[in-house]
Structure formats: C-alpha cells, structure tokens
Amino acid sequence: MSSWVILVDNLKDVSNAETPHKVMTVHEYLMHPKLFAGANPSILNLSRSYGYQGAGYYASLLAEARQHRVVPAVETMIELSRKQLYQHALPELEDKLNRGLRKMAAEDADGVRRMLVHLGQTGEPALEPFARLLFDWFRAPVLEVMLEPGEWRSIKRIGVLAVDGLAPGERSLFLSAVETYTTRPWRAPKQRATMKYSLAVLSDPKEELPPSSIASLRHMARVAARQGVEVVPIGKGDLDRLAQFDALFIRETTNIDNHTYRFARRAVQEGMPVIDDPVSMIRCTNKVYLTELLNSNGIATPKTIVLSSLKEAGDLEEQLGSPVVLKIPDGSFSRGVFRVAGAEPIREKLKELFQESAILLAQEYCPTDFDWRIGVLDGEPLFACQYQMAKKHWQIVRHEAGKKSVEGGFATFSLAEAPPAVVDIAVRAARLIGDGFYGVDLKMIDDRVVVIEINDNPNLDHGVEDLAEKDTVWERLIRWFVRRLEVR
C-alpha cells in the first residue's frame, strides 16, 4: 500500500502532530521532483487555492505527471470552478440530498443551509449517502454545499473550502475523515492464487439492448481467466468499489449524462486502463463533432448539413435529395434518427427536435440492405460484420412506442473476407478518436464507401461479432488491458 503525503501552503494548516502522514509544503513538492523517486505516494493536496495555474493547481498537475495518485485531481478543480461545468451532476445529487433530508426531523432539515463534506463524510448520518455520492462525483478534501430553501432543496453552489477556513468543530471532523480515508487502501488486498489482474465489467442485466449480453460476458470471463485476468461484474451502485480493481470495461450503453461517464472518469483518475475512456465517449457521442472530424481529415460521410435554426432548413431536399435523414447529435441504437420527406413534414420534425437539441444534423438518405460494422481495437481491425436492416424498416433497429425493439439479422466475415476499402477507412476513422475499442459503421454505395458513425461502445456478443475470428477477438481485447497494466 502506498504511503500518504499531505501538501499544505502553510505548515500551520495541518501539522505533523495532527496526522501520522508526512506533511510538507506545496512549494517543497513542486521544487523537488526527485524527492519521491522510486516511491509511489498518494498525495492529499490541501492547498488553500486550486485556482487555474496557481501553486495548488500545479501540485496536482505535477503529481499526475509523476504518477502519484492525488486528491483532488486537476479535472476536479476545473469542474468545480464554474457551476456550468458541474450542472449535469445536480439532478442526481439533489435527488439523493432530498432523500436524506426527508429522513431527518423537519426542523433539523429546514435548518440545513450549508453542508461540509470531508472526504466523503459529513456529521449527519441521514446525509452520509449524499456525502458519499458527492465525493464520488468530485474528489476534493472539503466540499462546501450551499442550498436553496424550499420544500425541494436545490443546490445553489458546490465549492472547495480550504482547511484554514474550518471552524474548530469542522476541523475535528475533517481530521477524523482524513484518518479514515487514508487508512483505506486505494485497492483492496488481493488474495488470488492464479489471477494476476482483476477486470471490473460494468453492465446492467435489465438493459434492453446492451452492448454485450450476460452470456457473452461469461464467455469473456472464461477467455480472460486463461490470461490470468479475473472478470468481476459490477453495477451502477459500485462506483465506490471501483478502486479495488485493476481495469474497467464498460458494457452498458454509454452517455456523458449518466453514471457510465462517471465510472470512466473515475477509472482514469485511478490510473486504470478503461474502455470506454471519457475522451472517446465525448468524441463519439456527438455526431456533430464526428462529422467535423471526419470531413476535416478527408474521410467520406453522407452529405451533411448542420442546423442551428429552422431558418436554415428551407431547401434541404434540394441540397440533400428526398427523403432527408434528421439526427439528434447524441442518439444511439438508431434512436433520435428520422427519415422525413416534404418541406412541411421536415419543418415540423425539426421544430420538435429543436426542443431537445440546439444543433441538429440533416443528412442525405443512403439506402442499403445492410451497414458494415468494423470493430477496431488499439488502431487495428478486430472483426467485420454486416448488420442488416430490421424487417420492413430502413434502420438496423426498429423502435416503436410501447413495443419491444426489433433488430435485423447479421452476417459475420473474417477480416480477410471483408472489402479492403471498408476495413481501411474504418481503421483510419477510429484512429482519429483514440486507441480504445470502437465500432465504425459504414455503407457501400456502388464503389463509394462512407462512414455513418463511430461508436465508442460497440456491440460485442459471443456468436455474433466473434463468429468468424472466434476467441481471437476476446483474447486481443483482454491483452489490451494486460499490456497497459504491465507497463504501469
């Protein structure tokens, strides 16, 4: 287990007499990069300010460069600098907060206007679940939460409070939280005779269209065991357990607005190899970004127009042909994609979609019997599949309100059998995103190959995507994690 080092601006902020851990100034840490050469300390950065490019900011930035685990990370500092950057977290946090407040006596709950969360702890038992969730979102030593009064308590502001600003009672709670937090190892002790690494797999057995079925994940576990990797299923509520594992594979449909992004972000903070990583999620989730990226790199896509208002939609059929395909930028699994013909229907659909997104895509309709899906891992092709259109439908998945989604069939090919142009363009496209695992969807129209989208969370099911290449697909996937763990 790594040792802890506490960084302070002034040695009066936390003294060596108050903690068994080494206490040093931020300045000393910044100016002596070789001080911990050969060691792997965990850093608790208690700088009085985390302002951009200040000493506290650089302490965490350089800690990451020196491969020291650090709280808080630079990403946390930035996210807490403006409410707009953490706004997306508030609905889940406020729900948990109000659940806790309802467990308190009314007069006590009404009096809560300000809360302090010390390393995931607060002094009120009913609010401990909220405190843990807040710390799951934002790992900072002392978080100050200001609340709006009312029947439903909204969060007015989340900020970081410096240790020197704590009242005596608050300081005692903080020091107790430090003792508790630093005595917990970053990773639980492993007592495994044969398994070298543990791979957490985030999945939801109740998801209608998961990227991998539970049966497929069990098959992957058998393949992984042969390489000394234990596969451990985890769920939405296991974020606080993530650091117990060595790597993370996300097998739920990803979205930057839900827990999958937080799991990915936490894995990166812990220095864990992860698929899908947060940057890939951000890049792949938004079709506007992908369109710009692919076009600027000379990779063909269907003719596309980016729309920001109804005024720009007057001659779409003249520019793109009819019908026109309209897309919400962050749709997935054929959701948020519509085929529309006629000026008035197009206008009405756009009016509806602009209620959901400030930017929309209009695209030429490219009818085909199937889409190619090329799996790409670490910049190299992994599998080749054809996904056929759902019966009597123009997409591979048909969604109808109140009914179960219907998927088309598939045909799997060895990489040697797949058209070379399709494989080549898919690999070039995926490399623009990163070195993770991607599914590139393409259409062949005569001799024209166009990229439809790049998925950061592609399907991988036993008996489908691996049908041609067999266990090689799973073995290469596990090796991706192992290689990164071996060089840490």
Helix axes 278-285, 287-296, angle to 10 degrees: 90
Return phi, psi of residue 36, to 5°.
-115, 30
Quick: pLDDT tens for 17-61: 888 899 999 999 988 888 887 778 889 999 999 988 888 999 899
Lookup: tokens for 459: 């399907």
DSSP string over 202-223: E--TT-SS-SS-HHHHHHHHHH
Buried b (16+ CB within 10 A) or exposed e, 308-343: eeeeebeebbeebeebbbbbbbbbbbbebbbbbeee
215-219, 336-340, 380-384, 451-455: which has the minimum mean pLDDT?
Answer: 336-340
* Residue whose pair of structure tokens reads 């950057």 in the numeric block: 85
Mean local confidence (pLDDT), 302-321: 84
Residue 249 has a pLDDT of 98
Residue 486 has a pLDDT of 92
Q: Which pLDDT band, with edges at 50, 70 and 90, does 289 fall under? A: confident
Q: Which pLDDT band, with edges at 50, 70 and 90, does 402 fall under? A: low
Taking 70 as the threshold, does the pLDDT of residue 2 lie above it? no
Mean local confidence (pLDDT), 382-386: 96
Per-chain mean pLDDT for the chain: 87
Mean local confidence (pLDDT), 399-412: 75
Residue 192 has a pLDDT of 35
Return phi, psi of residue 107, to 5°.
-65, -35
Report yes or no: 466 and 213 within 8 Å, Cβ to Cβ: no
DSSP string over 367-383: --SEEEEEEEETTEEEE
How far apart (Å, rounded) are the C-alpha atoms in residues 367 and 355?
28
Mean local confidence (pLDDT), 241-255: 93
Residue 185 has a pLDDT of 55
Quick: pLDDT tens for 317-360: 888 888 988 888 775 544 678 888 888 888 888 888 888 877 88
Report yes or no: 62 and 26 within 8 Å, Cβ to Cβ: no
How far apart (Å, rounded) are the C-alpha atoms in residues 214 and 211?
10
Quick: pLDDT tens for 123-180: 889 999 999 999 988 999 999 999 988 888 889 999 999 999 899 999 999 999 999 8
Predicted TM-score of the model (pTM): 0.59
